[in-house]
Structure 1
Amino acid sequence: MIKETFSKNTRINKKVCLTTDFVIAGGGLAGVCAAITAARAGTKVILVQDRPVLGGNASSEVRIWALGATSHMGNNNRWSREGGVIDEIMLENLKTNKDGNPLYFDAILLDKVSAEQNITLLLNTAAYQVNKSLDTKIDSIDAFCSQNSTHYTISAPLFCDATGDGLVGFNAGASFRIGAESREEFGELLASEDESNQILGHTLFFYSKKVDHAVTYKAPSFAYSHEEIGANPRSKNIHGHDSGVKFWWVEYGGIRDTIYETEEIKWELWKIVYGIWDYIKNSGQFEDVDNLTLEWVGTVPGKRESRRFNGEYMLKQQDVVEQTNFYDAISFGGWAIDIHPSEGIYSEKPACSQFHSKGVYQIPYRCFVSKDIDNLYFAGRNISATHMAYGSTRVMITCAHGGQAVGEAAAMCKDLSVSPKDLLEKELIHQLQQRLNRFGHGIPGVALDKSANKVSFANIFASSELVLKNYESCGDYVSLAQSAAQLIPLKKGNAPIVSINIIAERDTEIVCQLRTSEKPENYTPDIINKTISLPVHAGKQTIEFDFTDVDVIDQYGFVCFLANQYIQLEISTQLVSGTMSVFNKVHKAVSNSGRQEAPANSGIEEFEFWTPERRPKGQNLAVSFDPPLPAFSKDNVVNGHLRPWLNSNAWVSDYADTQPTLKITWQEKVELSEITLFFDTDYDHALETVLMQHPESEMPYCVKSYRIRTAEGKLLADVNNNYQTVNTLTLDSSITSQELIIELDHPSSDVPAALFEIQVR
């Protein structure tokens, strides 16, 4: 029993002082990935999170689906899903949670963080003050946990602000911006002539569900009335059976202070949300809503924008649109420049304006390094970017990808006893890029260094190599009501003859084009190399298109069949790594109407969108190639690229190969301590975390079972049920051998075994 007498003095809460290598404030996806990455590199981390769960806007408290460069598969960024730790997390979520339960995603994040012995996690703990010994150096932060009434003082040589609002950077005195820059300041043609206070607002979500009986609903007194909701400019967007993120347009707060007035903004959103639900249930405007019930309403709004801090470089519109190359690229983006009116739901303007680039763009290390504070990183939506560039960089998986780059950089600073700005030296940046890509991070255009891979000076023998003659027909056809294309890797030389079986409902004409991208690394088919128009008669027939007079380079090509409602194309259920079908179609979720129309003099390019259908649709077109496509060589496993980039970059075995095998042979015995395999987990598939359901729990391209042996017959690995991209085998003690034998099993009869890279150390 504890008894205390009256005290005339105020009591002091418990105080705990902690010391570590690296402090991360903010447990959203950026902070989580920074913490895991740094911890796995041997750095002691304290992760301070002011909420009871991890994930920030992706958590069950807010429930926004996590997305990045894949953009709902609605842009031209093929194979652009972010790699590394966030890829591991997203694939884990797919495996156990393909139906998008937000509570399951909470548990996955907690499990990943708690599994790292080098991470100390402080939940329900808010960082509120910074302590400095020098003007430009943080010594410690003060934080308070509301659940255990404990004050923490946490000291470290390195800090990362991943709080979104930039609480640490603000307290530390780092320079920042709120609002939109003028057109003149950075030459951003999409920006307004004058700078302004324009920022994006908050959204608060709700879930509904259908039950087996009628449910009545009485709105709270603070909710807006039917008349007020019906008079709102956005009321036409209300659909009775929509739920969650589909109400992203319920946005408010951009005309207020999105930091200090967040509680007031939340109350306004509550009034709107409960009013919308009352309008759905009781206005008589919606059918089949009697059995709908309100399952959940958010208590924490999803915040889009507040402070953006000044780094050593500020990303701008031109960097996104023109895809600027940076020597210090450590991350990438691909979401559209997505700008919303500050008035949000009360604006007469469109709820958002999205302007896409023709491909992914690099984000440099300098955007994550504080210009003013020597030992401070930024990660997440508060990195150094203009308001326009921020319209793209702010989305969660882009934030997460940058966060893990910061985690690796912090570990490198610790290992080398240097500061964040010291890493700006080109050789150190190269080392950082290599450290990241070793775990599948995927920096565009940055390959793994062959000199660090023992396979690069070995002889590689393959039991087979796929030479793609055709996609075998499954007997079904798809309508050519919308233009369709087969996306294939071309090799330098002459393009092939392409043939396909079609069914024509009447005598008509079929038009086929061979297209490529102006920038070879892109997947926007903006160059028409050749157009062939051929007459066809009613009925089934084989049509041949001769493109052999077209000279091509190593890049992806589009065999495009232009829309004709009277024609059907033969399709195949076969899947081959580094190839897919795409369609010139509308994708309203990302403002894609089939073609991007740009405002005059905006610096935005106009082009067509050619995007895939989600499985179980989107089968390959059953085209044949003469000569066959030789794009799947065994040599690809040591070219350093971990996904399609100018080439398939994958070794793919032949369908007829009953036991796909790679033999790696050295001239003499070598010491082996670590073997890493990089598999195909369909980097093109967007893995939205909530609300949307996915057709499978594992990517169909991924090798599930394989074995690794030495020449002496020693079994090093026998793996079954794999669903992850990166598989690393770290041996308990190094061994010597002159040969490694890697046996892969085909994922299925329709999918041949494939491998992007083998790293041996």
Structure 2
Amino acid sequence: MKFKEEFVAAGRNKYVEVLKADLVITGGGLSGVCAAITAARKGSKVVLVQDRPVLGGNASSEIRLWILGATSHMGNNNRWSREGGVVDELLVENTYRNPEGNPVILDMILLDKVAQEPNITLLLNTMVYEVEKDGPDHISALKAFCSQNSIEYQLQAPLFCDASGDGIVGFLAGAAFRMGAESKEEFGELMAPGAVYGELLGHSLYFYSKDVGKPVKFIPPSFAMDVTKEIPRFRNFNAKEFGCKLWWVEHGGRMDTVHDSEKIKWDLWKIVYGVWDYIKNSGNFPEADTMTLEWVGAIPGKRESRRFEGDYMLTQQDLVEQRKHEDAVAYGGWSIDLHPADGVFGENNACDQWHSKGVFQIPYRCLYSRNIKNLFLAGRIISVSHVAFGATRVMATSAYVGEAVGMAAVLCRQFELNPAALLQEKKIDTLQRELIKIGHYIPHIKQADPLDLMQQASINASSVWEFNGFDAIDVQWKPLFIAAAQLLPIPSGRCPSFKITVKATRNTTLVVELRKSSRIGNFTPDMLLTSQTFDLNEGEQLLELTFDLTLVDPTYVFLVFKDNPNILLPYTEQRATGLVAVFNGVNKAVSNYGKQIPPLNMGVDTFEFWCPARRPEGQNILLSVSKGLHIFDPRFLINGVDRPTVRSNAWVADPTDPNPSIEIVWNKKQRISKLVLFFDTDFDHPMESVLMTHPERVMPFCVRAYKILDDKGNTIYEKQDNFQTINAILFDGSVETEKLIVSMAHPSNNVPAALFGIRCYAQR
């Protein structure tokens, strides 16, 4: 292609391209990506605008922060709390394809997922810089410019979503927003901070190091900071930590985290190169002699800037009290995690983290602007107070909010409504139901889908595991250095008794407690039901644990063995859906020191932490039950809850069943076009996306191989090497049958086959 143009005295105009869509999303971080995929899969045309060359935002290879949410590194009491739906799909995919935590591979996976959606038009390296309005409270178009192709885009749509992190669309549109902390008086938040924590959370910039096996010299740049003189906690630096383990290298909390962002970046560069100079050249780290600086971030990870006002502002009380909202569409579970404004330059703790006893709901009213009628909010800019923001800002929570917004935009298009009108026209039930259908769990919300043919079918299982206790598989004996508990779902009625063999290294005493949560659906064992004390002789002995107790409602109980280093408990490698051992241990990474004891007048609860151990640890305590527990009912497959809550909510086959299967029978032939299966990919495992590695690519509870048969015994679908939570099976044309059989293989000899849910839809 050749061009030759003469001089144009008036200058030239930019090349302009007009794109029309149902929804324009600004911001390609996790929240924007999940919103876009959710909306696109339901048929909406989406333009996703990202000002960076890669997707993922703070999770991308440009910044390299791990994706976390309610699971909090498995360091809190939020059992089975990993976010569902699209963000779950992304994390499970990343764990399967990238267990080493390579951030470049995560970039690839996110790009691949978006590229697979024909309804998404992706604009990378494209910055939104202007908002066009056709009224004071209504956006008509955005203007954006791509630095790589010199094209100006005019993006037109009836609905817009700001997932940009700094809220550029909301800001330019004139929407009400806030920066910094509210006073205690405004919302009655006892944690509303003062001068030290009362500004903004700052930026962090990471680096990666690499051992090359030979001496490497480092000559610092002229701007490198002498961290021994300027950073009070410089002794915390070491040669082994890199990447987002250095999250506490934070700066900018007393600056304008939007307009001073480049200044903050330069200060962070000074710190990072000064840190590496200290590690390489101080002489205090001989192990760093053969290490080189492999990568330094070019843009910082930003925590906080603008928060926009919706029809409701989530506050500390919503989180700590776990308040219920009729319009709940998402949840969070990260601690209220506030950082001192001085960051790495201050003397204070790098953060103060205060946990709730369980997950908290996020209402729909927080996810749209109260001023701009057609503007959704997603990610960290949603309508929350500064204190509540400390918990809602993390990426998996932000992504979950994005999913809710994506689905809400679909319904707004379907019903020709603006975001607030979806609530006013009483469409929240529909929104919740559509979200639940894609695996988007909402605490305390359970809805049956009237289009689901499973609601009209009878369900027969080849077997059901009547739980009489665990099998002795590869038994290990472990001392009770810290208190341990087996978490078990117990039906209502008389509490069973248990038997366990223990070993004592000398004559001693063992205290056994039975606890449960005081709040339905929580996994904080703050209610002592009863206890027993056993006098043990040195050696091995069988104990019978009998509790004179009747449970009014089904619930998870904690069979607690109090710490005593002179006692050893047996652990088995048999693992199963909805059953896990937990420990009253410590996880300093999330301010878990075994027990949370806040200062007075903080508005935060005191309670103990009981958390699982990561695999390959985390075996179950080898015990037996006096009578078989019916805790894995096939009827759970249609109860609309696809993870453990007060029940296992799963069907689990008998481990001895050679051919576990579920038979679905109707009283007349059905024309079936879609079958959806919900497998167990261990919602307890946080699946950190980068830096941290994982012991397996596929969760041990996940059914890998299955097939679908019709009423004539014909195999109409077969799957090998499954690793995903949700399998949506679309049949060519449709299948006409009175019966379907889902035949599965056990995941392994140690783990029986399990399913959380089945949904079935007719041709429409």
Distance between the aligned counterparts of 2:407 and 2:673, measured in 1?
22
Counterparts of 1:435-446 in structure 2, within 5 Å, are 435-446=434-445
Question: More deviation in 264-273 or 4-13?
Answer: 4-13
2:14 corresponds to 1:13: yes
Matched, 1:43 2:44: yes
Does the alignment pair 1:94 with 2:95? yes
RMSD: 1.3
Contact 1:513 1:530 in 2 (8 A): yes
Q: Which residue identity lines up with residue 372 of structure 2 in the other structure?
A: I
Structure 2 counterpart of 1:715, which letter? Answer: T
Aligned residue number for residue 481 of structure 1: 481
| 2:754 is aligned with 1:760 | no
Give deviations 1:608-653, integer Å, cap 9, x for gaps: 0000100001111101111222100111111111100110000000
CA distance in 2, matches of 1:584, 1:196: 30
Q: How does 1:712-731 map to 2 (within 5 A)?
A: 712-731=712-731
Classify 1:530/1:287 alpha carbon distance in 2 versus 1 (closer, same or farther; 3 Å): farther
Q: How does 1:661-740 map to 2 (within 5 A)?
A: 661-740=661-740
The 5-angstrom pairing of residues 648-663 of structure 1 reads: 648-663=648-663
The residue type equivalent to 1:682 in the other structure is D
Structure 1 distance, partners of 2:82, 2:126, is 32
Separation in structure 2 between the aligned mates of residue 163 and residue 20 of structure 1, nearest angstrom: 18
Counterpart secondary structure, 2:635:
helix
- The 8 Å contact of residues 37 and 407 in structure 1, kept in 2 or not, is answered as yes
Partner in structure 1 of residue 413 of structure 2? 414
Greater Cα offset, 190-199 or 106-115: 190-199
Aligned to 1:447: 446
1:383 equivalent in alignment to 2:370: no
Q: Which residue pairs with 1:313 in the alignment? A: 312
Report what 1:471 is aligned to. Answer: 470
State how far apart, in whole Å, the 2-side matches of 1:350 and 1:550 are. Answer: 46
Conservation of the 8 A alpha-carbon contact between 2:463 and 2:657: yes
Q: Per-residue deviation at 1:238?
A: 1.1
SS at match of 1:436: helix
2:194 and 2:392 map into 1 onto residues whose CA distance is 22
Deviates more, 1:541-550 or 1:343-352: 541-550
Q: Where does the alignment leave 5 or more consecutive residues of structure 2 unmatched?
A: none
Q: Is the 8 A contact 2:475 2:573 kept in 1?
A: no
Q: Hey, which bits of structure 1, 4+ residues long, moved more than 6 A?
A: 193-196
Compared CA separation, residues 51 and 421, structure 1 to 2 (3 A) = same
Structure 1 stretch displaced more, 412-421 or 261-270: 412-421
Deviation at 1:351, TM superposition (A): 0.4
Alignment match, 1:560? 560
SS at match of 1:319: helix
Letter in 2 for 1:24: I
How far apart, CA to CA, are the structure 1 residues paired with 2:196 and 2:76? Answer: 30
Q: TM-score, normalised by structure 2?
A: 0.98
Q: Which residue of 1 aligns with 2:615?
A: 615
Give me the whole-angstrom Cα distance separating, in 1, the residues matched to 2:380 and 2:227.
Answer: 36
Letter in 1 for 2:293: L
Contact 1:584 1:594 in 2 (8 A): yes
Aligned-partner SS, 1:4 = coil
Distance (whole Å) between structure 1 residues aligned to residue 268 and residue 596 of structure 2: 32
Deviation at 1:450, TM superposition (A): 4.9
The offset of 1:226, in angstroms, is: 5.1
* CA positional deviation for 1:228: 2.2
1:515 aligns with 2:515: yes
- Gap change, CA 1:531 and 1:276, over 3 Å in 2: same
Deviation at 1:756, TM superposition (A): 0.6
* Aligned residue number for residue 126 of structure 1: 127
CA distance in 1, matches of 2:353, 2:162: 28
Q: Within 5 A, what are the aligned runs for 1:355-434?
A: 355-425=354-424, 427-434=426-433
- Please tell me whether the aligned partners of residues 529 and 550 of structure 1 are also in contact (alpha carbons under 8 angstroms): no
Which structure 2 residues correspond to residues 490-639 of structure 1 after superposition, within 5 A? 490-639=490-639
Determine the structure 2 residue equivalent to 1:262.
261
Quick one: which amino acid aligns to residue 435 of structure 1? E
Give the distance between the partners of 2:376 and 2:704, measured in 1 at CA: 38
Q: What one-letter code is carried by the residue in structure 1 that aligns with 2:663?
A: K
For 1:234 and 1:686, how far apart are their aligned partners in 2?
A: 29
Q: What's the secondary structure of 2:564's corresponding residue?
A: coil
Task: Report deviation, 1:540.
Answer: 1.5
Please say if residues 197 and 341 of structure 2, whose CA atoms lie closer than 8 Å, have aligned partners that are also in contact. no
* More moved, 662-671 vs 34-43: 662-671
Shift of 1:552: 4.9
8 A contact 1:497–1:548 mirrored in 2? no
Structure 1 match to 2:182: 181
Name the SS of the counterpart of 2:132 in structure 1. strand
More displaced 10-residue stretch of structure 1: 597-606 or 301-310: 597-606
Q: Which moved more, 1:354-363 or 1:732-741?
A: 732-741
* SS of equivalent to 1:37: helix
**SS of residue in 2 equivalent to 1:381:** helix
Q: Is the 8 A contact 2:227 2:271 kept in 1?
A: no
The alignment of Structure 1 onto Structure 2 pairs a total of residues equal to: 759
Q: What percent of counterpart residues are identical?
A: 50
**Distance in 2, Cα, partners of 1:195 & 1:422:** 40
* Partner secondary structure for residue 278 of structure 2: helix
Q: How do 1:637-652 residues align onto structure 2 when only pairs under 5 Å count?
A: 637-652=637-652
Q: Quote the residue 2:159 is aligned against.
A: 158
Secondary structure of the structure 2 residue equivalent to 1:452: coil
Alpha-carbon separation, structure 2, partners of 1:55 and 1:223: 29
Aligned equivalent of 2:29: 28
CA distance in 1, matches of 2:416, 2:449: 27
Matched ranges for 1:134-145 at <5 A: 134-145=135-146
More moved, 716-725 vs 284-293: 284-293
Report if aligned partners of 2:303, 2:393 keep a CA contact under 8 Å in 1: yes
SS in 2 for 1:565: strand
CA distances 1:593-614 after superposition (whole Å, capped 9, x unpaired): 0001112111100000000100
1:258-297 → structure 2 map (5 Å cutoff)? 258-297=257-296
Q: For 1:52, what is the secondary structure of its paired residue?
A: coil
Residue in 2 that maps onto 1:104: 105
Question: Is the CA contact 2:379–2:395 (under 8 Å) kept in the aligned structure 1?
Answer: yes
State the alpha-carbon separation in 2 of the partners of residues 656 and 196 from structure 1: 57
* One-letter amino acid of the counterpart of residue 352, structure 2: S
3-state SS of paired residue (1:451): coil
> More deviation in 113-122 or 705-714?
705-714
What is the distance in 2 between the residues matched to 1:628 and 1:587?
Answer: 35
| 8 Å CA contact 1:137, 1:375 repeated in 2 | yes
Q: Which moved more, 1:296-305 or 1:410-419?
A: 410-419
Say if 1:13 and 1:151, in contact at 8 Å, map to a contact too: yes
8 Å CA contact retained: 2:513, 2:561: yes
Give 1:456's aligned residue. 455
Contact 2:485 2:559 (C-alpha < 8 Å) held by counterparts: yes
User: Given residue 741 of structure 2, which amino acid in structure 1 is its aligned partner?
Assistant: I
- Distance in 1 (CA, whole Å) between partners of 2:651 and 2:185 is 49
Residue range with higher mean Cα deviation, 471-480 or 553-562: 471-480
AA in 2 matched with 1:702: C
**1:278 and 1:687 mapped to 2: Cα distance?**
33
1:207–1:243 CA contact under 8 A, matched in 2: yes
Shift of 1:236: 2.8
Structure 1 CA distance, aligned partners of 2:316 and 2:397?
A: 16
**Change over 3 Å in CA distance of 1:189–1:285 after alignment to 2:** same
Matched residue, 1:223: 224
8 Å CA contact 1:29, 1:55 repeated in 2: yes
Give the Cα–Cα distance (whole angstroms) in 1 for the partners of residues 193 and 754 of structure 2. Answer: 49
Give the letter aligned to residue 712 of structure 1: K
SS at match of 2:427: helix
CA distance in 2 between counterparts of 1:450 and 1:175 reads 37
Question: Helix, strand or coil for the counterpart of 2:111?
Answer: helix
Greater shift in the superposed pair: 7-16 or 313-322: 7-16
**Cα displacement (A) at 1:738:** 1.2
Contact 1:328 1:426 in 2 (8 A): no
Q: 662-671 or 520-529, which moves further after superposition?
A: 662-671
In structure 2, C-alpha distance between the alignment counterparts of 1:85 and 1:721, rounded to whole Å: 20
- Alignment correspondent of 2:252: 253
* Structure 2 letter corresponding to 1:460: I
Q: TM-score, normalized by length of structure 1?
A: 0.98
State the 1:710 CA deviation: 1.1
Aligned to 1:199: 200
Supply the distance in 1 between the matched residues of 2:449 and 2:296 (Cα, whole angstroms): 52
Displacement after TM superposition at 1:196 (Å): 8.8
Partner SS, residue 649 of structure 2: coil
Superposition pairs of residues 236-251 of structure 1, within 5 angstroms: 236-251=235-250
